[in-house]
Copies of this chain bind each other. A is one copy, B any other.
Amino acid sequence: MDYRSEDILPYISTDSIIFGLDNGKLKVLLIKRAIEPSAGSWALPGGFVLNQEDLDMSARRTLQNMTGMTNMFMEQVYTFGQVNRFPGRRVVTVTYYSLINYTLENLKAGPDASAIHWFDIAEVPELVFDHRHILDTTLNFLRAKVRTEPIGFELLPQKFTLTELQGLYEAVLGTVFDTRNFRKKILKMNLLMPLDETQVGVAHRAARLYSFNKETYLKLKDKGFTFEL
């Protein structure tokens, strides 16, 4: 995790907005900076891009170092390059967001951070630089995207109940759906495989589990189908 200065692109960083879902709440992963400028403040995880590294790889590396995960869902959002967005020098940052299956285990803060923490999206502390603006922009981007592409599933375990799915959309979009209409709509798309399994260990009627069928989605998409919620 230590790089020689001749190995990095001095003007370009990537920052990542990592979303997770905990108990029907949308969460975002933040780090506490251990290095100047603004050591001790909360910030989005990120870092400088290496000379021999694609932008996407840079963002993936950040997330991989913290979570150990590879092959996670990740997309570029926007590039912020105001002259004075970063104190003391010019840094343009390319931002990515990621949707991961929320776990508290195995989070590593990394050498540049003294702490790492999941924050409820409604309780994010003050952030360094323009990171609050970046977060807001990304959240709007996510809200638009989640309604027109079936990416929400990335936040859930592979097997999930329809109630969990509805809760995910309610958390991300900040709205409430009618249960009957929501089920009707999502099931009519034929993207969900009903499994011969139900929840276990719940103190009420156990819900049927479903899984998202990505192959079917890709086939339907080719034929002109668009996911829309």
Contact A54/B81 with A9-B11, A11-B9 known, Cβ cut-off 8 Å: yes
Contacting B at CB under 8 A, from A64-84, are 76, 78-83
Q: Which residue of B lies closest to A85 (CB)?
A: B54
By the criterion CB–CB under 8 Å, are B82 and A94 in contact?
Answer: no
Q: Chain A 96-132, CB within 8 Å of chain B: the 1/0 string?
A: 0000000000000000000000000000000000000
Contact of A82 among B54, B76, B83, B92 (CB under 8 A): B54
Q: Do residues A81 and B52 form an inter-chain contact, with CB atoms below 8 A? A: no
Copies of this chain in its oligomeric complex: 2
A55 interfacial contact with B, CB 8 Å: yes
Is A214 in the interface zone, CB < 8 Å from B? Answer: no
Query: A76 to B76, alpha carbons, bound, how many Å?
Result: 12
Report the minimal beta-carbon distance from A87 to chain B, rounded to whole angstroms.
16
In the bound complex, what is the Cα–Cα distance between A162 and B105 (angstroms)? 59
Judge whether A51 is part of the interface by a CB distance below 8 angstroms. Answer: yes
Are B82 and A79 within 8 A (Cβ)? no
Shortest Cβ gap from A88 to chain B (Å)? 13
- A53 at interface, CB cutoff 8 A: yes
Nearest Cβ in chain B — how far from A94, in angstroms? Answer: 5
The 4 A-B pairs at the shortest CB distance, nearest first, are namely A55-B81, A79-B79, A79-B94, A9-B11
